Structure 1
Amino acid sequence: MTQTGPRLRIKLRLEYDSPLILGPGKAELLARIGRLGSISAAAREMGMSYKRAWTLVEEMNTAFADPVIDSARGGAGGGGATVTPTGQQVLAHYRALESLLLDAGAADLMALNALLRPEGSG
């Protein structure tokens, strides 16, 4: 079955009482740091500045009981970053919530999509 009309996407954004907001950008940053082993490489791949990526990492590390990213400064031995077990759990739970919304909410998402004005009209 081919889909016509606009395609609906879910962008999960979790807002906590603390200053933490966990959304698709931070989840993607965690995933890329895990894959690349580097905050700067993950930032580059996402088209974001290192300073911005580091700020997001610090935000998450401060908000959770244990750090989500463990980093080592560069130098002769090189630096690097790893996603901690807590960071892996945060990412896994975030992805599980995204899947839950897509799977359990599929009928509602299709119903909302059907209520949209067709492309090119109006």
Structure 2
Amino acid sequence: MKKLPATYRSFIETYPEIARAYQSLGEAIHQQGPLTERERRLVKLALAVGSQQEGAVHSQTRKGMDHGLTAEEMHQVVLLGMTTLGFPRTIAALTWVDDLLEPEASPKDPTADEPEQF
């Protein structure tokens, strides 16, 4: 697992009992029901995208990568929200996912190699 964000590490150090309880709750919820780990990761990413929380999208992207989700799968989750969330929010969420993906896994900007037009 990759290094946790500094804010979360600070929370764990400051409030260890609450952090343990929160972790236990999350584990219990994940074990409740028939969804596979992969399905749960996709749903959690979709919820983060839908709530438009950049930090949550980063967290769920990181966890998705740790559990083997591909860039294409995570991009599709974001794109599925376009007709519900709108184009600007979808583009924002794509950039948040791409913040964490390896550069070669992110879609290439088709204008990146073009000269600037004046």
The TM-score, its normalising length taken from structure 1, stands at 0.30
Report the structure, 1 or 2, having the larger helix content. 2
The TM-score, its normalising length taken from structure 2, stands at 0.31
Higher relative contact order (CA 8 A, sep 6+): 1
Rg comparison, structure with higher value? 1
